[in-house]
């Protein structure tokens, strides 16, 4: 609880350009949580360096991710918006939680296996303990709910296990968080391979629609989207490409699958692809315009970074100090 209000925490990595999957599965929904929860929204740059980053690009994308938070409708007066590395308590709590996390638990993490296979030349300790830092992110703020994608649910479950283990030794230390998985936009698939998730790290840029793509680029990418030879616009097993496009169209319009099927009855895939591209581009246009305004005033953005970090650190310090006292650490004021 934060001043009697339940707490929500979310974070997005500033690695790669954010996609419509990030927008529909996360950013688009974030502002609605502000009415119900005290929200902490973090640019998780410390997580990003588990994979080698180009320093200039990491800096640029850190600014851009914070700007996209705000452009997507997050009011800095209602939400705490900040950069992870600006709040040192994240790293400090992560070390303590490492000592309450079992090697076997981390070795079973699906994302570690996936990323190890993808980055075989850089299987570092940070990649292995990534879920512990994520647990630190969440537990620092006594978080009640964590909006996440399906692929992060395992990490939140581990976070709960860690918190419960600490609580068994030091009662009532941490709030046990609950994951919230959105029922819309939960998994936007690649336009080139609809059997795999759309990823900001995909080397095939035609497979991915980025939040900052211009309208012509968006429509061109949708026109090239993989479909099937059936030519009927309906949601059905075995029609992965069309199912993905229907899902995207549904997310942007709020229409049901049945309504979409009726709307495009008798029409071809070309018409449907164009329509999906149009609604996507139209929805992103105001976000892009606001993003450019925010990014044009970097000084103001840095002021917000500092303000958000101070707000977050104030809350985080209380949790960290409480645990340090319980552990027996000597604290000198």
Active site residues: 115, 197, 200
**C-beta separation of 11 from 43 below 8 A:** yes
Name 309's Cβ contacts closer than 8 Å, sequence gap at least 6: 82, 83, 86, 87
Q: Please, what is the angle between helix 153-169 and helix 125-139, to 10°?
A: 70
Compute CA 324 distance to the chain's CA centroid, rounded to the nearest angstrom: 29
**C-beta separation of 216 from 209 below 8 A:** no
Residue linked to tokens 């899902």? 247
Q: Where are the alpha helices (DSSP H) in the chain?
A: 20-22, 28-33, 45-48, 55-71, 89-98, 103-107, 110-118, 125-139, 153-169, 215-223, 240-253, 257-263, 269-296, 298-327
State how far the alpha carbon of 150 is from the alpha carbons of 16, 69, 189, 254, in Å.
20, 21, 13, 21
Nearest to 47 by CA among 154, 167, 133, 147: 133
Nearest to 191 by CA among 224, 218, 160, 214: 224
**Coil, helix or strand at residue 66:** helix
Measure the CA–CA gap between 327 and 259, rounded to whole angstroms: 58
Compute CA 305 distance to the chain's CA centroid, rounded to the nearest angstrom: 18
State how far the alpha carbon of 241 is from the alpha carbons of 65, 197, 225, 228, 247, in Å.
29, 12, 7, 7, 10
């Amino acid at each position: 609880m934060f001043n009697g209000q339940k707490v929500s925490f979310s974070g997005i990595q500033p690695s790669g350009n954010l996609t419509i999957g990030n927008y529909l599965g996360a950013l688009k929904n974030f502002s609605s949580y502000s009415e119900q929860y005290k929200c902490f929204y973090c640019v998780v740059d410390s997580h990003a360096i588990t994979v080698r980053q180009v320093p200039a690009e990491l800096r640029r994308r850190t600014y851009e991710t914070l700007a996209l938070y705000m452009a997507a409708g997050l009011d800095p007066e209602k939400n705490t918006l900040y950069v992870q590395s600006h709040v040192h308590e994240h790293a400090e709590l992560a070390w303590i939680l490492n000592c309450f996390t079992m090697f076997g638990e981390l070795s079973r993490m699906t994302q570690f296996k996936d990323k190890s296979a993808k980055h075989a030349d850089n299987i570092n300790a940070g990649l292995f303990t990534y879920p512990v830092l994520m647990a630190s992110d969440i537990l620092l703020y006594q978080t009640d709910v964590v909006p996440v994608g399906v692929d992060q649910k395992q990490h939140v479950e581990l976070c709960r296990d860690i918190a419960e283990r600490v609580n068994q030794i030091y009662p009532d230390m941490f709030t046990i968080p609950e994951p919230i998985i959105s029922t819309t936009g939960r998994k936007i698939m690649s336009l080139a391979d609809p059997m795999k998730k759309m990823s900001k790290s995909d080397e095939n840029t035609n497979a991915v629609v980025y939040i900052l793509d211009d309208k012509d680029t968006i429509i061109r990418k949708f026109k090239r989207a993989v479909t099937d030879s059936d030519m009927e616009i309906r949601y059905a097993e075995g029609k992965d490409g069309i199912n993905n496009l229907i899902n995207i169209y549904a997310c942007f319009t709020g229409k049901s699958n049945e309504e979409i099927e009726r709307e495009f009855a008798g029409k071809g895939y070309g018409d449907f692809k164009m329509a999906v591209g149009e609604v996507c581009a139209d929805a992103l246009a105001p976000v892009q315009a606001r993003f450019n305004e925010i990014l044009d005033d970097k000084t103001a953005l840095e002021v917000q970074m500092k303000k958000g970090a101070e707000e977050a650190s104030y809350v985080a310090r209380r949790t960290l100090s409480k645990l340090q006292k319980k552990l027996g650490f000597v604290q000198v004021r």
